[in-house]
Amino acid sequence: MAIWDFANPTRFVRLVDRTLPWLVTACVIAFGIGLYKSFFMAPEDYQQGDTVRIMFIHVPAAWLAMMCYSVMALSSLGTLVWKHPLADVSAKAAAPLGAAFTFISLITGSLWGKPMWGTYWVWDARLTSVLVLFIMYLGLMALWRTMEDPIKAGKAAAVLTLVGALNLPIIKFSVDWWNTLHQPASVIRMDGPTIHPDILVPLLVMALAFTLLFFTLHLMAMRNEVMRRRVRAMRLKAAAGPRAASATAAPQPAE
Amino acid sequence: MTMNPFDLGPHAGFIIASYVTTFGIVAGLILWVLIDRAKQKSDLADLEAQGIKRSAATSQDPASEETSG
């Protein structure tokens, strides 16, 4: 099935209605297993003690903060290059989710940093670049709200989103390029994860749960956005109704 | 090996605050999506009750649904 098969919003909404119960069930099960493993199975870290349990929400939230922006960047390409009818719907629906996950990663990172580093915040490369990502999400959400026409807003937001995508490699490699309090990557590495499986497995299950949560909420928010545009189109049609009728009744100039 | 989740050590406050904040934000997101859906459904029902129909509802033409340019 090609991606253009979903270009019809009605077909897309039907597909979402069928998919959501399965996604919600999978998400609840994944969170159940993940939280059980995080609190009942994962041992304390030999240096960080129980605060390592913050990692089970901080790291998946940080991954999703970046993945969500990647989804928005791909959607923006879909808007500008392929003009897919649902691309800007996808980008607009993803922005508040990305902002929320970025906020979670910033807050949990601060709460993890205080007992481990002795401070809630430092202006180092990783923390600052993630804060920039959060501000970009807020800026994109504001941009969508400044324009009445969602199609024009979608195109402007797509350009800004693609420019902002430059921040993603900066976030990822900031811990390698600059000196920072934040630890370097310990899961996604060329030489494999450096975390013991007792802690790595709960982390990966929680990452799966967060990813399922993102896709569930994203599809729901996209469905809402499709409905919002239908409401807008119907209101415009209703407002133009009497004028359209009188224009049809009036004699048209010959061309 | 089973851990005791009720003994989170000297930094329990930070761990609990992290999970409570995350739960609050995720619950807020879920509520926002559900409330928004209810509002859009109500708006659509109101418009349809006024006799306003979508052009796509009659033509089934994908291009007639407003989503993107």
ipTM value, please give it. 0.86
pLDDT at A74 (0 to 100): 95
Predicted structure pTM score: 0.86
Q: How confident is the model at residue A255 (pLDDT cuts 50, 70, 90)?
A: very low
Q: What's the pLDDT at A174?
A: 83
**Percent of chain A residues topping a pLDDT of 90:** 55
State the pLDDT confidence band at A5, using cuts at 50, 70 and 90.
Answer: low
pLDDT lower than 50: segments of chain B: 58-64, 66, 68-69
A77 or A49: which carries more pLDDT confidence? A77
- Residue-level pLDDT at A253: 43
What local confidence, expressed as pLDDT, does residue B1 receive? 61
Residues A96, A221: contact at Cβ < 8 Å?
yes
Evaluate if residue A85 carries a pLDDT over 90: no
Predicted pLDDT of residue B56: 58
What mean pLDDT do residues A244-255 have?
46
Please tell me the predicted confidence (pLDDT) of residue B62.
41
Q: What percent of chain A has pLDDT over 70?
A: 91
Helices (H) and strands (E) in chain B, counts: 2, 0
Nearest to A109 by CA among A166, A39, A180: A180
Cβ atoms of residues A45 and A195 within 8 Å? no
Q: Over 70: is that where the pLDDT of A1 sits? A: no
d(CA A131, CA A59): 15
For chain B, the maximum distance between any two Cα atoms, rounded to a whole number of angstroms, is 66
pLDDT 10s digits, A104-134? 999 999 999 999 989 999 898 899 999 999 9
Per DSSP, what are the bridge partners of residue A45?
Answer: A49
**List of chain B residues whose C-beta atoms are within 8 Å of the C-beta of residue A77:** none
A214/A94 Cα distance (integer angstroms):
9
- Say what the pLDDT of residue A196 is: 82
A83: alpha, beta or left, given left = phi > 0 and alpha = psi -120 to 50?
Answer: left
How close, in Å, is residue A112 to chain B by CA atoms?
7
Query: Between A178 and A143, where is the model more confident?
Result: A143
Of B5, B22, B16, B19, nearest in space to A42 by CA: B5
A221/B50 touch (CB, cutoff 8 Å), yes or no = no
Q: Which residues of A touch B25 (CB under 8 A)?
A: 100, 103-104
- When the pLDDT of each residue in chain A is averaged and rounded to a whole number, the result is 87
Residues 53-112 of A with CB under 8 A from B: 53-54, 57-58, 61, 79, 83-89, 96-97, 100, 103-104, 107-108, 111-112
Provide the pLDDT for residue A42: 83
* More confident site: A179 or A170: A170
pLDDT range class, residue A178, cuts 50, 70, 90: confident
**Nearest 5°: CA angle at B26, between B22 and B28?**
115
Mean pLDDT (whole number) for A41-50: 82
Q: By C-alpha distance, which of A77, A76, A80, A85 is closest to A3?
A: A85
Taking the CA atoms of residue A3, residue A16, residue A101 and residue B33 in that order, the dihedral angle to the nearest 10 degrees is 140
- Cα separation of B14 and A167, whole Å? 29
Closest CA–CA distance from residue B20 to any residue of chain A (Å)? 10
CB contact under 8 A, A238 and B65: no
The pLDDT confidence band at residue A159, using thresholds 50, 70 and 90, is: very high
- The answer to whether A16 and A219 have CB atoms below 8 angstroms apart is yes
B22/A154 CB distance under 8 A: no
Give the whole-angstrom CA distance, residue A97 versus residue A93. 7
